[in-house]
Structure 1
Amino acid sequence: MSQTTTFSVDGMTCGNCVRHVTEELTAIPGVTDVQVDLVAGGSSPVTVTSDGPIADEAVAAAVDEAGYAVTPKGSLL
């Protein structure tokens, strides 16, 4: 059964930023889709669809690897 998780990431400014975050998140086992609604220079909503539950720590680590951080107000923190 598919599961979605939505959170926000601060600091992305362009399509290249979105690509980096998307690549890192899709590398997590079980992730089937990543959608980013870019808010250049603001807090961008990110929705991850997966085959099952994904650990918050795995998502935060993937975003960190891309060079960004989950927004403190996001559902992951």
Structure 2
Amino acid sequence: MKKILTVEGMSCHHCVMAVKNALKGLEGVKSVDVSLEEKKVEVEIGGNIGDNKIKGAIEEAGYTVVEIK
């Protein structure tokens, strides 16, 4: 299953890596793709991860989740 998130606060490749590392640390996350230009994060999950857990990991890394699809 794929989730598409709109994330505010990312401004450089360090931010991209911080978001990727935060999400890859969650059990069940298969892949993470971040578009800095579009402020989008695409997460492929294989387990039963709730939106709140994904949002929490990103916000703990210092970024704001605006929308989850």
TM-score by length of 2: 0.91
Number of paired residues? 69
> Hey, what does 2:42 align to over in structure 1?
47
Q: 2:61 aligns with which of 66, 69, 74?
A: 66
Deviating beyond 6 angstroms after TM superposition, the runs of 4 or more aligned structure 1 residues are none
Alignment gaps of 5+ in structure 2: none
Q: Percent identity?
A: 35
Structure whose CA Rg is larger:
1
The equivalent residue for 1:21 is: 19
TM-score normalised over the length of structure 1? 0.82
**In proportion to residue count, which structure has more strand?**
2
Q: CA RMSD in A?
A: 1.3
